[in-house]
Amino acid sequence: AIIGKAINILVFGCKGTVIPSTVTKIGNFAFYESNIETITITSNIIEVGDTMLFNGSKLKTLIINNKVIDFNRIAFLFGADRLETIVCDNESFWTKPDFEDNNYSSFEASSIKNLYIPQGITPADGLLDGFTKQATSDREGYELWTKNA
């Protein structure tokens, strides 16, 4: 990994990257053409670049353990053509109506197959178009929504 220590930003990550607790930002293109398959965004991250996964990321699973960060969902859609699962406990990620006037308002056109949403959260209108809530979830405290076949 390449980390800009003066400004606490992850500049470039690769397979095996562990984001140190001192890092507070993930920069644009941080996972450009990366071979990383799972990213966990922890509570120390306060900002992510809108294009952090741009161009061919092999990312399959994104876990967001951060209830404070405010970001656009587009950061996880552009370039994440292999992204299959998002687990996120950040309420605004699910309730904020990002991009409501264009094609990026939902996950329907993405490669995502599984969305884990904390129980009790009502997602933004249209966000889960093309997905069905499952009766059970393999993650405690989360509802599982799967893409319709």
pLDDT digits (tens, 9 = 90+) for 82-111: 788 989 888 888 887 654 444 445 677 778
**Residue 46, CA atoms < 13 Å, CB-side half-sphere:** 6
Q: pLDDT (tens digit, 9 = 90+) per residue, 52-89?
A: 776 656 788 888 887 767 666 666 655 567 788 989 88
As a whole number of Å, the end-to-end CA separation of the chain is: 37
User: What CA–CA distances, in Å, run from 68 to 18, 54, 56, 97, 133?
Assistant: 20, 24, 28, 17, 25
* Mean pLDDT for the stretch of residues 101-129: 79
Indicate the pTM of the whole model: 0.79
Predicted pLDDT at 149 = 84
Backbone angles phi and psi of 130, in degrees to 5: 85, 5
Stretch 124-135: mean pLDDT: 89
Does residue 137 have a pLDDT over 90? yes
Rounded to the nearest 5°, which phi and psi values hold at 41? -100, 115
The pLDDT of residue 120? 92
pLDDT of residue 32 exceeding 60: yes
**Residue in the structure block whose two tokens are 């409501």:** 100
**Token pair 């859609």 in the structure block, residue:** 77
Give the model's pLDDT for residue 139: 94
Alpha helix segments (H runs only) across 38-134: 91-95
- What pLDDT band is residue 7 in, cutting at 50, 70 and 90? confident
